[in-house]
Amino acid sequence: MEIPKSAVDDLARTQAEEATLAALVSQYAGALYRVAYSVLRNPADAEDAVQETFLRVLRHRETLGEVRDQRVWLIRIVWNIVLDRKRRAKTRPETDDVAELARVLPCAGLSAEQIAAGAQHHAHVLACVEKLPAKERQVLMLSAFEELTGVEIAEVLGITESSVRSRLFRARNLMADLLNHSRSLR
Amino acid sequence: MNSSAHNSISGAGREIAKGSAEATLRLIAGLPVPDGIEDRVMAGLKSAPRAGRILHWPSRMQPTGSWIRSAAAAAIVFVVAGGGWGIYTRVQPSQATKVIVMPRAGAGGGFSSAGAMRTPQTVIGPVVAQPVAAQPGDAQAATTQRVQVKPLKKVPAKIVPLTRADAGNKASVHPAVQAAR
């Protein structure tokens, strides 16, 4: 029986797409998870966001060849997904997330007191981050990722590089004011 | 001096605050990724429903000419139009009954008609009797037809004073005047 040439082409194309997708998953799943976790602060939700990101890639796999920078493209997808989820899931109070995350973060000290103080400091910093305006907060959070340059942050957020710089400057100043103000109150 | 010292201290405090905030965010960004996330994502992608594919015709049944497409299009149009016509002829559209819902007056505290009813005007205008055309066979009937007699118009009596010249000529006096005397 003769196998049509179009069927062979389809099979080869499907296999190539699957191989490309597997390579993308193994290369960028970790980075995408960390970006998702920094916003959602929940491991299961962050993993779901990564899964959804690659499902979107699978749906639009025909356009994969046209993408210039796949890493930034993927981070942009996951960023939009996590922001959308965060916007929809407003039922959970932010304080729960902050306290949970502060417990997870590593601390410099070894004694129980130092660990508790470190967790308290992290929780305080994260609470101040939540008080920042959305635009400044997003830039500050993305700037914490060492893999992302200013140009890449601008591409993820869809703004210019100069806007990224000015927003980052404002965010750092606001953070410093918030932390100093809370220290003086104590 | 004091202000500059205070400024330098507060500036240092700001820098420390900035540094500590960014250190916390870097810690979050550098948290370890859970093991096996790649495998779970790949398993999820394999179990995800695939998008629909376009089925290709076998090479022997490939439509070479445009007439096959035209025939197929005509057949589709025929089936759709025939189905629509069949439904149209079988199904009678039901006429919806017209119900006029009058607003409830007075229930909501608004204005009411106070029980007044509208009476239509019943004045009937003059009816002009049509003249009956005389038929040759109905000549006798025409003669026997009732003739409407118009009643005489009552004229009030006019009293004329008698003069001496008229005294001798009593016969010329109107009988009504005589009766009045």
A144 touches chain B (CB under 8 A): yes
| Residue-level pLDDT at B149 | 56
Which pLDDT score, from 0 to 100, does residue A82 have? 92
**What are the domain boundaries of chain A?**
1-91
With the CA atoms of A170, A171, A176 and A179 taken in that order, what torsion angle do they form, in degrees rounded to the nearest 10? Answer: 140
Q: What average pLDDT does the segment B148-168 reach?
A: 59
- Residue A10 touches chain B, beta carbons under 8 Å: yes
pLDDT for A167 beyond 80: yes
Closest residue in B to A142 (Cα–Cα):
B29
Q: Measured between alpha carbons, how far is A160 from A165 in angstroms, rounded to an integer?
A: 9
Please give the average per-residue pLDDT across A133-143, as a whole number.
89
- Whether the per-residue pLDDT at B63 is higher than 70: the answer is no
Residues of B within 8 A of A6 (CB-CB) are: 56
A4 has pLDDT over 90: no
Contacts of A109 (CB under 8 A, 6+ apart): A115, A117, A118
pLDDT(A81) > 90: yes
Residue B68's pLDDT is: 83
Place of tokens 């299009």: B73
Contact (CB, 8 A) for A76 and A155? yes
Q: In this structure, are residues A55 and A26 in contact, taking their beta carbons and an 8 Å threshold?
A: no
Q: Is B17 on the interface with A (CB under 8 A)?
A: yes
What is the reported pLDDT for A53?
93
pLDDT at B136 (0 to 100): 60
Residues of chain B neighbouring A175 (CB-CB closer than 8 A):
17-18, 21
Quote the distance between the C-alpha of residue A16 and its chain's center.
28
pLDDT at A38 over 80: yes
Termini Cα distance of chain A: 84
Distance CA B79, CA A63 (A): 38
Distance in Å, alpha carbon of B78 to nearest chain A alpha carbon: 33
Residue B118 pLDDT greater than 70, yes or no = yes
What value does the mean pLDDT take over residues B70-89? 93
CA distance A47 to chain B (A): 7
Task: Please check the confidence at residue A93 and state whether its pLDDT lies above 60.
Answer: no
* Secondary-structure percent of chain A, ordered helix, strand, coil, rounded to 5: 80, 0, 20
Of A6, A7, A144, the CB nearest to B26: A144
Sign of CA dihedral A9, A54, A149, A160: positive
Nearest to A139 by CA among A32, A38, A33: A38
Confidence (pLDDT) at B135: 61
Write the CB contacts of A67 (distance below 8 Å, at least 6 apart in sequence).
Answer: A73
Residue A153 confidence (pLDDT): 92
Q: Side-chain half-sphere of B40: how many Cα atoms within 13 Å? A: 16
Q: Which of A110-114, B57-61, B143-147 is most confident? A: A110-114
> In the predicted model, what is the mean pLDDT of chain B?
69
Considering only residues B139 and A65, tell me which one the structure prediction assigns the higher pLDDT: A65
Say which residues have a Cβ less than 8 Å from residue A135's Cβ, sequence separation at least 6.
Answer: A167
Tokens representing B117 are 């009813």
Average pLDDT over residues B49-57: 63
Is the ipTM, as predicted for this complex, more than 0.85?
no
Q: Check residues B85 and B28 and name the one with the higher pLDDT.
A: B85
Q: What is the Cα–Cα distance from B19 to A121, expressed in whole angstroms? A: 13
- A56 pLDDT more than 80: yes
B45 near A54, Cβ under 8 Å?
yes
pLDDT confidence of residue B55 = 65
Q: Which CATH architecture has domain A1-91?
A: Orthogonal Bundle (1.10)
Q: Which of residues 94-113 of A touch B (CB under 8 A)?
A: 101, 104-106
Higher pLDDT, B154 or B170: B154
CB atoms within 10 A of CB A41: 21
